[in-house]
Amino acid sequence: MNNDIKEVLYSEEQIDHRLDELAGVLTAKYQDKNPLVVSVLTGAMIFTSDMLKRLNFKLNVDLVDVSSYDGADSTGQVKLVSDLKSDVNGRDVIIMEDIIDTGRTLKYLVQLFKDRGAKSVVTCAMLDKPDRREVEIEGDYVGFTTPNEFLVGYGLDYNNLYRNLPYVGILKRAVYAN
């Protein structure tokens, strides 16, 4: 385990198992549809690619890059860094997120895609940290409900580090508190 990690919260095996379950539910729901799967960069990259291999229905993929954190702190401002290539008008959209924390990122994206005329927008998040919620939004499909700790690994970062850890871990407070 990386020295900066206090505890492994979800192991590779636990994540694999939960992704099988989540993908099964989505596959049943979207069997006769052709949704656009939108991955929210950068954090959701690993979750999305691991889920995509398990989703057994016709789909398209696109990427959106939004950012709102400075280190471990939410700036409160969601910035659209890079937009989709696709038109979401009339489409069923599945947003893939790594984590719902304050909820601002997901709320912003759901509203953006609805404003652009999406037929439906659902959210699929690997992690949900409900104790930190600041705006009203719920994940439609959630992998794990987490404690109120700063998490890294499996795509999640602190200052763009630790994304490559194969598990989700709790970052030692000493690393980010000063």
Kindly state whether residue 64 participates in binding ligand PRP, applying the rule CB under 6 A.
no
Minimum CB separation of residue 99 from ligand HPA in Å reads 5
Tell me which of 6, 57, 69, 72 binds ligand PRP, using CB under 6 A. 69
User: What gap in Å lies between CA 42 and CA 127, rounded to an integer?
Assistant: 15
Residues 128-167 touching ligand PRP, rule: CB under 6 A, are 157
b/e code 127-155 from CB counts within 10 Å (16+ = b): bbbeeebeeebebebbbbebeebbbbbbb
Q: With CB under 6 A as the contact rule, which of the stretches 15-23, 30-38, 103-111, 139-147 interacts with ligand PRP?
A: 103-111
Tell me which of 5, 95, 156, 175 binds ligand HPA, using CB under 6 A. 156
Kindly state whether residue 69 participates in binding ligand HPA, applying the rule CB under 6 A.
yes
Minimum CB separation of residue 145 from ligand PRP in Å reads 14
Instruction: Tell me, yes or no, if 101 is annotated catalytic.
Output: yes
Q: Which residue reads 């539910």 in tokens?
A: 25
Backbone angles phi, psi at 145, to 5 degrees: -95, 120
Residue 177 has a CB neighbour count (10 Å cut-off) of 9
Is 42:96 a contact under the CB 8 Å cutoff?
no
Residue 128 interacts with, from ligand HPA, ligand PRP, none (CB under 5-8 Å by kind): none
Residue numbers annotated as active site: 101
